[in-house]
Chain A
Amino acid sequence: MFYDERIEKEKGRISRNAIILSVIISVALGAIRLTNILKNTDQSKYLCLVILEAIIILVGSICLLIGFTRSKIHPKDERTIFEECCFYNKASSILIKIVTVVFAFFLPVVLHIGIPNNYTDGEFDRILLVLSFVVGIYVVYGFRRNDIYFNYSIMENEHYYKSVFKNIGKLAIYISCLFAVSAISFTLLVATKELNQVILIKHILQILGLYMIVLLKFSLLYLLYSFLEKMSYNSTRWLSKSTIISLEITVFLYAVYTFIAMLTDSLAISQAQAMQTVSAASSLTFYIDFALLIFLTYFSYEYLKVKRNKLLSAACLTILLSKTLAFLIGQAWSGITSLFLREMIEYDAYTITYFLSTAKTIIQDLSSIANMIGFSLIIIALIKDKTIRKSNLAAIISFAVLGGIEMFLRTQTGYLEVSVYHSLAEIAVLIYLCVLVVCIERRGKIPVC
């Protein structure tokens, strides 16, 4: 039976840190949501909107407390450290199952009670979206840094993709079970005469549609990630095809987003349609940032395996942290704004709105500056690496031209940030990185240091 002690140990450490991260984020977002519900809504029934955050905090804290107590009771040696790591592996699995079952049970309830007036703190499952990004990126980074593959137990299988599809089948079965839990919740609502049968059918179809979309999304993501992992595992080259493909996906998504945003600006369509198009394009930014961070994780790991470069490590980490924080604050912003809703109505709406929009602009600018610093450090680190000379000219030219255009545009009034959401200078760096990976890819095998 396949059981790698090193992988179990590292997975355990990553699981412990992922639980800590989940609890901290849930405390922050849960506190904002709870304050909004208590301040801006009249009925206690809306407290169920914060149930997911509460469950993550409760179960996560219990797991961490048990783990901490065990580590203090038992003396630290090879065996106890290994057992602690195995505990955290099981704990993270249990946490995910409990949270998804609670979500499945309360989703019909939330659909039934609806969203209250004066409540703009995001959807019921916002915490799951946030954690899937933040914890997802952390897990990808942690696995790559410790040379662990998500599919390690099936990696050497003759029929690797058959095993991948079997895992997708297991996911489908699990999601069907979650649907069954939602069905039980609906039955209880009907039994208590809270819900009539016409509305019941409408809600059931909504939830069925939601679960099918979730299954499709996660299956595609898992299939793509399994494909990238297999290519990385079999690669003997300096940069694996996985790194190049993740960069291509990022650039493709950037191009799609920019095209949609520019099309929205240029066509004479109604404001409502424009808002809808921009909103649909904005959901792309989740995938753009995720793909970019996967690329940076793979790139820094594979590059640094061959050549030590502290500047490159620092640069990739800067961008990773900056993008993650920007995503978190972006998700929490509507909730933070809602905290001041009552004050805006009762006191001075203009001053508070001005203060909030200035704060948002400052945070966005700081995030852009941090990204720019990170991308600049990547270019400097790679230019200093004299092994790759041909791509340096492309870097300097594209960075200077596009960076210069961006600086000019930012000084103009009416500059639409939505059209260049990820900034021209970032696009310049991506162009450079594309040229770089082509140069490295052509080099082929790992160079002798």
Chain B
Amino acid sequence: MNEELKQARLAKNLSQTELAKRIGVSRQTVNMIENDGYNPTIKLCIKICKELDVTLNDLFWKE
């Protein structure tokens, strides 16, 4: 599970639906990314990071 993404989203007080609307994808896609069910492209990763004010390292690059 991508817990960092979920925490970053909650920190911004956004629901999955709201985040999905802002980055132009469906709620299911956001859900799947959070549950490691889908590997987003770098383009989508950057959009998510910009929306949540975090870096790629914070959300997607795991040690």
Contacting residue for B44 out of A1, A5, A155, CB 8 A: A5
Q: Would B43 and A5 count as touching, CB distance under 8 A?
A: yes
Q: Does B7 reach chain A (CB closer than 8 Å)?
A: no
Chain B nearest CB from A404 CB (Å) reads: 45
Within 8 A of B (CB), among A295-335: none
Contact with A along B2-27 (1 / 0, CB 8 A): 00000000000000010011001111
- Given known A-B contacts A5-B40, A78-B41, A82-B41, A147 and B28 have beta carbons under 8 A apart: yes
Within 8 A of B (CB), among A70-98: 78-79, 82
Q: Would B25 and A156 count as touching, CB distance under 8 A?
A: no
Shortest Cβ distance from A1 into B: residue? B24
- CB-defined contacts of A148 to chain B, threshold 8 Å: 28
Q: How far is the CA of A156 from the CA of B30 in the complex (A)?
A: 14
Q: Does A162 reach chain B (CB closer than 8 Å)?
A: no
Q: Does A408 reach chain B (CB closer than 8 Å)?
A: no
- CB-defined contacts of A7 to chain B, threshold 8 Å: 25-26, 29
Chain A nearest CB from B34 CB (Å) reads: 13
Q: Would A5 and B25 count as touching, CB distance under 8 A?
A: yes
Q: How far is the CA of A149 from the CA of B42 in the complex (A)?
A: 24
Q: Does A3 reach chain B (CB closer than 8 Å)?
A: yes
Q: Would A156 and B32 count as touching, CB distance under 8 A?
A: no
Q: Does A2 reach chain B (CB closer than 8 Å)?
A: yes
Q: How many of chain B's residues touch chain A, expressed as a range?
A: 10 to 19
Question: Could you tell me the dominant secondary structure of chain B's interface residues?
Answer: helix
Within 8 A of B (CB), among A156-172: 156
Within 8 A of B (CB), among A2-25: 2-7
Chain A nearest CB from B26 CB (Å) reads: 5
Shortest Cβ distance from B38 into A: residue? A6
Q: How far is the CA of A148 from the CA of B25 in the complex (A)?
A: 12
Q: Would B41 and A156 count as touching, CB distance under 8 A?
A: no
Q: Would A6 and B43 count as touching, CB distance under 8 A?
A: no
Chain B nearest CB from A305 CB (Å) reads: 11
Most chain B Cβ neighbours within 10 Å, of A1, A79, A147: A147
Q: How far is the CA of A78 from the CA of B26 in the complex (A)?
A: 20
Chain B nearest CB from A270 CB (Å) reads: 56
Q: Would A6 and B25 count as touching, CB distance under 8 A?
A: yes
Q: Would B24 and A3 count as touching, CB distance under 8 A?
A: yes
Q: How far is the CA of A5 from the CA of B48 in the complex (A)?
A: 13
Q: How far is the CA of A79 from the CA of B42 in the complex (A)?
A: 10
Q: Would A156 and B17 count as touching, CB distance under 8 A?
A: yes
Contact with B along A209-250 (1 / 0, CB 8 A): 000000000000000000000000000000000000000000
- CB-defined contacts of A2 to chain B, threshold 8 Å: 24-25
- CB-defined contacts of A46 to chain B, threshold 8 Å: none
Q: How far is the CA of A375 from the CA of B62 in the complex (A)?
A: 46
Shortest Cβ distance from B31 into A: residue? A147
Shortest Cβ distance from B37 into A: residue? A147
Q: How far is the CA of A148 from the CA of B42 in the complex (A)?
A: 21
Q: How far is the CA of A5 from the CA of B41 in the complex (A)?
A: 8
Q: Does A124 reach chain B (CB closer than 8 Å)?
A: no
Contact with B along A125-161 (1 / 0, CB 8 A): 0000000000000000000000111001001100000
Q: How far is the CA of A26 from the CA of B44 in the complex (A)?
A: 39
Q: Would A4 and B41 count as touching, CB distance under 8 A?
A: no
Q: How far is the CA of A172 from the CA of B27 in the complex (A)?
A: 30
Name 12 interchain pairs, CB-CB below 8 A, sorted by A.
Answer: A2-B25, A3-B25, A4-B25, A5-B40, A5-B43, A6-B28, A78-B41, A147-B28, A149-B28, A152-B26, A156-B17, A156-B20
6 cross-chain pairs, A with B, having the tightest CB-CB distances, nearest first? A4-B25, A6-B29, A147-B28, A4-B26, A152-B26, A6-B38
**8 other contacts beyond A2-B24, A3-B24, A6-B29, with CB at 8 A cut-off?**
A3-B25, A4-B25, A5-B25, A6-B25, A6-B26, A6-B32, A7-B29, A156-B21
Residues of A whose CB lies within 8 Å of any CB of B are 1-7, 78-79, 82, 147-149, 152, 155-156
